Amino acid sequence: MFKKILKVFLVIGLVVLVPFFGLYLWFLAPQWEWTKEPNRIGVVEIEGLLRDARPVLDSLAKFRRDTSVKAVVLRVESPGGGVGASQEVYREVRRTAMEKPVVASLGGIAASGGYYASAAATYIIANPGTLTGSLGVVAHLPNLEGLFDKVGYRTVTIKSGQFKDVGNPGRAMTDAEIALLQETLDGMHGQFIKDVAEGRRLPLEQVRAVADGRVLSGEKALELKLVDALGNFQDAVIKAKDLGGVVGEPRIVYADKERRSLLRLLLGAAGLKALDQVLDPALCPVRYELLLGQ
């Protein structure tokens, strides 16, 4: 009788535990490194608008600490993003490049904040037709005063200082407010120019001369010394291999393969990217970004 009860419990345990164990392996096994070859090249990807820098920072730090990773490829496919996020990635790339080579691979578009994030890399490779450059700062602050008047919408603003409600969509901005924001953006622009000049080891005035928001092709960026060579992602891997002293065929590892979430599972990568692009303008009005067709 006892053996029958034990068998029943074993069967129930197997039926219940095996599916859960299978799901556990499905989600977590990709994170496990069963073996670590000594000649690995890490790939960190920046895709879409750069708003939250933390995943990129974590990935760079992870590869920097991993002694089996000899070099890092930073793959950039981004029109830019938040000012703070772009600066955070720039500094982490610079910190990583002090310990091991970082090769930036610019895809179809790597402009404004996307280029900013790459500027501290050891070596930058772009396609001839890559849209890059756009060294500038932009702020979008809508004025809905006319619309509000039509629908009879009114707001009462109580503020503690003259500039506390700068950008209030219910009214036009004053000259003083415009001057204040212009001064702030000019300061951010100066930070952008300074960091690019330091990262690329170029004279400050040389960078300032092209930092007027103009869009550059990869070919033109090479002429201006904003990139080091023309090529694709594989060329960047080959360069990383050479700079990292990798012997033989390197193993390419991607940093964020473990980053799964319920939202990602439901929407997929494309859905999350579209959602990010819809939400970002509202959450981050001041940013380094290339704007086309607007």
C-beta pairs of 157-166 under 8 Å, 24+ apart in sequence: 166/141
Catalytic residue (choose from 112, 118, 220, 239): 112
Q: How far is the C-alpha of 265 from the C-alpha of 261, rounded, in Å?
A: 6
Query: Annotated catalytic, 164?
Result: yes
Phi, psi of 80 (to 5 degrees): 130, -160
Q: With b meaning 16 or more CB within 10 Å and e meaning fewer, what string describes 200-220?
A: beeeeebbbebbebeebbbeb
Say if residues 45 and 77 touch (Cβ distance below 8 Å): yes
Q: Which residue has the tokens 């708003």?
A: 51
Phi, psi of 216 (to 5 degrees): -120, 145
C-beta pairs of 279-283 under 8 Å, 24+ apart in sequence: 280/49, 280/51, 280/81, 280/82, 281/140, 283/51
Catalytic residue (choose from 7, 36, 159, 164): 164
Q: Which residue has the tokens 């980053």?
A: 259
Query: Annotated catalytic, 159?
Result: no
DSSP 100: S
Residue in 76, 107, 103, 65 with CA at minimum distance from that of residue 232: 107
Any idea which residues carry the catalytic annotation?
Answer: 112, 164
